[in-house]
Amino acid sequence: MGSPGNGGIVELTDTGLGREEVVAVARDGVEVRIGADAVAAMERGAAVVAELVASDEPVYGVSTGFGALATTPIPAAKRALLQKSLVRSHAAGMGSEVETEVVRAMMVLRARSLSMGFSGVRPLVAEGIVALLNAGLTPVVPEYGSLGASGDLAPLAHAALPLLGEGSVRDSGGELRDAGEALAATGIEPIELGAKEGLALINGTDGILGMLSLALADFELLLKAADLSAALSVEALLGTDRAFAADLVALRPQPGQQTSAANMRRLLEGSAVVAGHRHGDPRVQDPYSLRCAPQVNGAARDSLAHAGRIAGYELESAIDNPMVLPDGRVESCGNFHGAPLGQVCDLLAIASADVGAIAERRTDRLLDPVRSMNLPPFLADDAGVNSGLMIGHYTQAAMVAENRRLAVPASTDTLSTSASQEDHVSMAWGAARKLRASLENLRRILAVEITCAVRGLELRPDEPAAGTAAARDCLRESVPGFGEDRFLSPELGAAEELVGSGALVAAVEERIGGLG
C-alpha cells in the first residue's frame, strides 16, 4: 500500500493504495513517487505486450480497434498512431470543468492501477502522470462523457491528453494554459505512446473511485456534525437524553446507531438544560426527529461503512481491459465496469438525503412557536418587525428537496452504446457526481440547523453541556448571536465553512474528546 508517511510522500507500489493517500494527493498536494517494485511490475507487463506486438496474434487494443471495432485488424505500422488516436477521439467530453481535487484523485488512481503491472505499459507512462501531479498541472476535464463502463473513458482521455503535449491544463495557481507550453515550462517531456498504452490510460474507474474516496472522507465528518446538530436541537427544544441510554440503544445492536447514540450521550453529558426538565415534564416522549436521531444518523454510518469496504476493495484492484497476466496471457474482462462503485454512491446519496431530512424537521420545530417550547417565532427579536431565521429555513428546505431528487439512483439506469457492443453501462460517474452535490447540500443543511439550534439554546436560562457549549462558542467567533435582523447569507456561509472544514467538530472534540 502507498503511504504518506515518508516525509509527506505517497509511494505507488504494485499492491494498491489507501483511501487516505488519495485524499492527501487530491486535496493537500502531497508529492507522489513510484516505488521500485512498481517499476519492475510494469517492466514485466510491458515485455509481454512487446512480444505480442511482434506476433501475428490478434489482441484487443494492441492489434485491433476498440469497442465495436474490435474485429478490425490494425497493421503494425499504424499501431502507435492507434493509441494516440484513441486518446484524442475519446477526449470528447462536454460541460463545466471537473473540480481540481477530482482530477488529481483520478490521476493518482490511474497511476496506481498502472503501477500494479497488469496493464502492460512502460514505467514512463505512470511516471508521466506523477510528473504532472508533482508539478501542480491539472488537466482540464469536462463533466460529461463517462457512462461508467468501459470505465471513465472520456474523463480519463482528457486527463491523458497533456501527457502527449495536447489539451489544456490548470497550473498550480489555477491559470488555464496550453498543455504543451505548460509541459515545456516545467521541463516535462511529452510521451510517445506505445502499444496498448493509450488504452491503458483511459480504461479505468478512477474518476468514480476518486469521487467516492473524497465523499467518504466528507461524509464521515458530516455525520459527526449531524450528531452534534441533533444534540444542539435536543437541548434547545428541551428534549431528553434518556432515549439515547446505552442499555436502551443496545437492544438494537446496529453498529452505526450505537456510535451515534454514544456521541449524543457525550455531547449532552452534564447539560443543565436537559437536567432542568428531567422531572415534572408532562411530555411522555420526544418527537421522532429528536428521539430517532441516532437511528437515522446511525443507518447512514452503516451505509458509509459498507461503501468504505467496497472502495477498499477497488483501491486494491487492477482495472483495465485487456489485462496482462503474469503467465503471459492477455485476456479481455469486465473489471472496468463501475457497478460496485455506482451502487454504493447511490446508497450514500440516499443516506445523505435522509440525514438532511431529519435535520430539517428539527429546524422547522425550532422556528415554530407552537412546537418549540416557548422559543420566539422564527427565533426573531421582536417577531413581526424581524423575520429571524425564517428564510434560512426556506433555503434549507430547498436543499433538502434537491437531495431527495439526487437520491434517485443512477446505477439502475443504463443504455446501449458503441453499436451495442457496450450494451450495459453502470452510470457510476453520474452517481458519484450527484453524491458530491448531495454532500455539499448536506453540509449547508446542517449549518442552518446548527445556526438555529445555537440561537435557540442561548435563549434558555440554563447552561448547556460542555460539548454543545464548545460548538456555541466556536460558532459565535464567526456568527453573531440573537438580535435584530441582519444580512443572513454571510452568517450561514460562515457556519457552513465551520462545518465543512471540520473546525466546529474539532472545537467540540478538543473540549470533550474525540467523537466516534
CATH number at residue 52: 1.10.275.10
Cβ atoms of 297 and 244 closer than 8 Å: no
Is 3 inside a domain boundary?
no
Residue 473: how many other CB atoms lie within 10 Å:
13
* Pair (184, 267) in one structural domain: no
The identity of residue 216, as a single letter, is L
Q: Which of 203, 228, 260 is the last residue of a domain?
A: 203
Q: Angle at which helices 339-367 and 428-458 pack, to 10 degrees? A: 20
Is 1 inside a domain boundary?
no
Q: How many helices (H) and strands (E) does the chain have?
A: 20, 9
Among 144, 138, 127, residue whose Cα is nearest residue 162: 138
* Pair (88, 191) in one structural domain: yes
CA 236 to CA 225: how far, in whole Å? 16
Beta strands in 345-476 (DSSP E): none
Q: Which of 60, 144, 288, 313 is catalytic?
A: 60
* Pair (53, 94) in one structural domain: yes
| Domain range for 25 | 9-203
Is 420 inside a domain boundary?
no
The pairing of strands 94-97 and 330-331 is: unpaired
- Is 60 assigned a catalytic role? yes
Q: Which of 178, 203, 228 is the last residue of a domain?
A: 203
CA 341 to CA 346: how far, in whole Å? 9
The confidence score (pLDDT) of residue 66 equals 63
Is 418 inside a domain boundary?
no
* Pair (233, 174) in one structural domain: no
Helix, strand, coil percentages, rounded to 5, for the chain: 60, 5, 35
* Pair (301, 188) in one structural domain: no
Is 474 inside a domain boundary?
yes
pLDDT 10s digit of each residue in the chain, 516 long?
Answer: 444 545 589 999 999 899 999 999 999 999 999 999 999 999 999 999 988 887 777 777 677 766 666 677 777 777 778 899 999 999 999 999 999 999 999 999 999 999 999 999 999 999 999 999 999 999 999 999 999 987 899 999 999 999 999 999 999 999 999 999 999 999 999 999 999 999 999 999 999 999 999 999 999 999 999 999 999 999 999 999 999 999 999 999 999 999 999 999 999 999 999 998 888 788 889 999 999 999 999 999 999 999 999 999 999 999 999 999 999 888 989 999 999 999 999 999 999 999 999 999 999 999 999 999 999 999 999 999 999 999 999 999 999 999 999 999 999 998 888 877 888 889 999 999 999 999 999 999 999 999 999 999 999 999 999 999 999 999 999 999 989 999 999 999 999 999 999 999 999 999 999 999
* Pair (271, 234) in one structural domain: yes
Give the number of C-alpha atoms closer than 13 A to the C-alpha of residue 342, restricted to the C-beta side. 25
Among 220, 217, 207, residue whose Cα is nearest residue 103: 207
* Pair (16, 119) in one structural domain: yes
Is 73 inside a domain boundary?
yes
Is 417 inside a domain boundary?
no
* Pair (149, 228) in one structural domain: no
What CATH number has the domain bearing residue 345?
1.20.200.10
* Pair (199, 316) in one structural domain: no
Global confidence as pTM: 0.95
Residue 458, helix vs strand vs coil: helix
* Pair (199, 233) in one structural domain: no
Q: Count of domains in the chain?
A: 2
Rg, Å, the chain Cα set: 26
Q: Which of 177, 203, 229 is the last residue of a domain?
A: 203
Is 150 inside a domain boundary?
yes
* Pair (163, 47) in one structural domain: yes
* Pair (306, 159) in one structural domain: no
Categorise residue 486: left if φ over 0, alpha if ψ from -120 to 50, beta otherwise.
beta
Residue 437: how many other CB atoms lie within 10 Å:
16
